[in-house]
Structure 1
Amino acid sequence: MTALTGRPALLAVVLGSSAAALACTFGLVGQPWRAPLVFWFVGVVPGLALQGRLGIKDPLARATLAVAVSVALAALTSEALAIASLWSPTALVLLLAVVSIAGCLHRPVPR
């Protein structure tokens, strides 16, 4: 089973949220929607996209890990961009979108 047929709802959330965050970042979405969409994306979506590889079934644990992994990825990405003297909000959202989409499309490791 491929990632596209196994998790269509997750893929839709990740792709939709990534597109919305990128639209906000490039100024295509204004207030009052900009801040909630970007906070949702940065705070939840990267972890949500990568959690399928962990095989956790408990919904509360999945939600907690989605937030924790997202915040950790945002911090690490921000730090890497700052060290490279390339930090900008646009670069951060763009890189997180690439990681989220790639993580969601990548097939889980077979058990």
Structure 2
Amino acid sequence: MTQKKQYTAEFKFKAVMESYQRDTTIEEVCRKFGLASSVLHRWRKEFQESGPEIFADKRDQETRRKAQGFARGESPDELKQLIGELTVQNDILKKSRGL
């Protein structure tokens, strides 16, 4: 039984980045790294899909809110949470009064 090859994240990154070079083709990169083109295409797709996450704001919620200029309790996420809590409380009050 043949065992699947395991590649490190660094190896995958290096192959993908080289495949984006203007002066090289995917076939050349596959030959150089000993990969099937389907594997490299899959890695490129994963890279493109997860690329935006690299640049996501990793600060905590408090710091992010301040950087965006919102005062405490004014950010859209906090307001949505407050609306949700008030809606639940409103439903509870309506049920308790029989409305």
Normalised to the residue count of structure 2, the TM-score between the two structures is 0.30
By relative contact order (CA 8 Å, sep 6+), the higher-ranking structure is: 1
Which protein has the larger Cα radius of gyration, Structure 1 or Structure 2? 2
Considering fraction of residues, name the structure with more helix: 1
Normalised to the residue count of structure 1, the TM-score between the two structures is 0.28
